[in-house]
Structure 1
């Protein structure tokens, strides 16, 4: 096998991998789009299977802007969910810890010394 055959085969493999990545992106976008009717989704899938390169090219041209907007909305929703989870898991800070310790002290669950220890720990 000469150098040019190797380079050509490498290029073909690269082009095929890029095409697969584009297909995965298109399928993800199709199923993420809630405004698109199910029949239109089915038609796009059939077109992608029958005329793969042409229909992928047309999809990217026709729906590219919407793809970017849906990806942005999905990333924002994921970020908001992660931020909410981190805030919930971390608690709201020393003020809430001290308030919880004060409530335990008022209920008589802990002593004044334990309250002071929890207060120092929260402020540390």
Structure 2
């Protein structure tokens, strides 16, 4: 351990963490390229080739050109996924085949108004639904 001073260890660790951060950024940019709705197929291919062939320069150029809207696109996708999840939950939770009390009362009131059932039958049906 004498031939590798402590300062060199810190420099090595710093460069390693910078490399990990760059790698994370590269993966995030490639994911953003492929999930972007406003890029055509040729645009996606061009950005991907630039990021792969000239990785450091390509990432820097992408961040300058499209980095400001990366977070907006990700937030929009998250909001769409959340909305789809909420719609699914509402659909499955409220999807019972039995009508609600209000719907049943409305149906009986309509039948009474049309004369299909008498007042006595309406009151019995209403009492049964409310019980």
TM-score by length of 1: 0.68
Q: What RMSD in Å do the two structures reach over aligned CA positions?
A: 2.9
- List per-residue Cα deviations over 1:5-38 (Å, max 9, x = no partner): 2111111111111111111111111111122121
- How many correspondences in the alignment? 104
| Structure 2 residue ranges without an equivalent (≥5) | 106-127
In our comparison, the structure showing a higher alpha carbon Rg is 2
1:58 aligns with 2:61: yes
| Structure 1 residue ranges without an equivalent (≥5) | 103-115
TM-score by length of 2: 0.65
Structure showing greater relative contact order (alpha-carbon pairs closer than 8 Å, 6 or more residues apart): 1
Distance (Å, rounded) in 1 between the aligned partners of 2:100 and 2:5: 71
Distance (Å, rounded) in 2 between the aligned partners of 1:13 and 1:84: 44
Task: Report matched runs for 1:14-53 at 5 Å.
Answer: 14-53=17-56
Give 1 or 2: higher helix fraction: 1
